[in-house]
Amino acid sequence: MRVTPDEIHISDPEFYETIYSHGSDIDKPAYMKWSLGTPGTMFAATDAAHHRMRRTSLNQFFSKKKILELAPRIRDQVQKMFSRLEKEYKGNDKVLRIDFMFAAVAADIVTGYSFDRSYNFLDAPEFISPFTSSIESFKKAAKLSVNFPWLPRLLSKLPENWVAAMNPEIIPSFEFRKVSDERSHYLLDTYFLQAMVEQIEEIQRDRAEDKIDRGKGTIFTEILEAKLAPSEMTTARLADEAAGIVGAALETTKWALSVITYYVLSDKEVLDRLRKEVTEARAETLSLPELEKLPYLMAVIQEGLRMSYGTIGRSPRIHRTRPIQYGDYVIPPGTPISTSTYIVHNDETIYPDSHQFNPSRWIQPDGAKPLSRYLTCFSKGSRMCLGMQLAYAEMELIVAELFTRFDLELFETTQKDVICTHDQMGVGVSEGSKGIRVIVR
């Protein structure tokens, strides 16, 4: 189907890996550089060679080997989260926005890894911070900016009161451009983008004064040691990259864990089977490679990833030098082609009863076609999500212990709070949703 004057959408799960494949000639449309207002990110590098250069400087930090080395630090943050549940929520009927809690732990993990310091999101009262609401506002604005990439540049030049009059929901994002000397430690996220600039500038100063602890190997200390072009080493470019890494790591992991929590607590059979497996395995003591061998735990995580989708908006690819054959059609070189994870993950020929949460579908007999080929929430090919291994590690450690250590009960939360009703780049749920709320018994 032609979905724009020059873009073709192909709704065929079998063709996904052809569109999103490896290759030195696979670009994005030029407008996507500005689509989220952060042109310095790896995501925004539309030219394949430019993207590869930015990605190469980050690849080593998100490899399987590196994430295994990071596992003790991830566990520390997860245990800090569980400790707060024990002390503040267990047994007192206090309602918890568990999606906010998942956002806090994901953010503390990735900022600690990026900068060797934490913003202490997990210390915020009730895990609620202005940054959470700002992210929601950003998601609502993102779809507009993707379709009208000139919009972020225009809005940035207008007085804030003009923009607020046009769209009151964007007001929280103004806080990104403000700095206050009176902020408390857990409110640093209110000034998130400015904080990214400050972090990069501090690392640059430490490097100039030879104060860098190179043994810690954080992401941005190592990027500054890389042999990149001067244009790639500016504070603005690196701050864009930092915001992109942290934002992506926060939002996708938060939502996948939220979807898993809702569906596990909604189905006693799923909950009992998961508890039985992880209890018998004493999963809280297992390493990440050992957790990955627990079939039902991994099935729950994969089903949660399938039903949380990741990014659901189209992300076109341009095969610059060669035509693409699809059936009887020959698509000329240079044509933007796309498909959607939402469509793939709800294809009934691949996932029967696709709107049902069914972890057992992932436990297949030998010789069956592996469903993992059709799990596209991390995309595929040369632009596959860099943080996939980190996301899996966080989910494995959290899911393995959350449902056995705590007796959780959904509070005024229904399926409408997790079902995708509209595209906000990520999942948009019904208007008026109050999030995924639980009580810890």
Q: Where are the domains of the chain?
A: 2-440
pTM listed for this prediction = 0.89
d(CA 110, CA 245): 8
Least confident of 17-31, 198-212, 295-309, 394-408: 198-212
Strand-strand pairing, 7-9 and 336-338: parallel
Name which of 177, 174, 176, 153 is nearest 164 in CA terms.
174
Mean pLDDT to the nearest integer, 228-240: 85
Band of residue 109 on the pLDDT scale cut at 50, 70, 90? very high
Residue 280 has pLDDT above 50, yes or no: yes
- 10 Å CB burial of residue 143 (0-12, 13-18, 19+) is middle
What is the predicted pLDDT for the residue at 380? Answer: 94
Mean pLDDT to the nearest integer, 92-103: 95
pLDDT in tens, 339-374: 999 999 999 999 999 999 999 999 988 767 789 999
Phi, psi for 119 (deg, rounded to 5): -85, 0
- Domain 2-440 class? mainly alpha
The token pair at 216 is 């810690």
What is the predicted pLDDT for the residue at 405? Answer: 96
What is the predicted pLDDT for the residue at 176? Answer: 39
**8 A C-beta contact, residue 107 and residue 189:** yes
pLDDT in tens, 25-62: 999 998 888 777 778 889 889 999 999 999 988 888 89
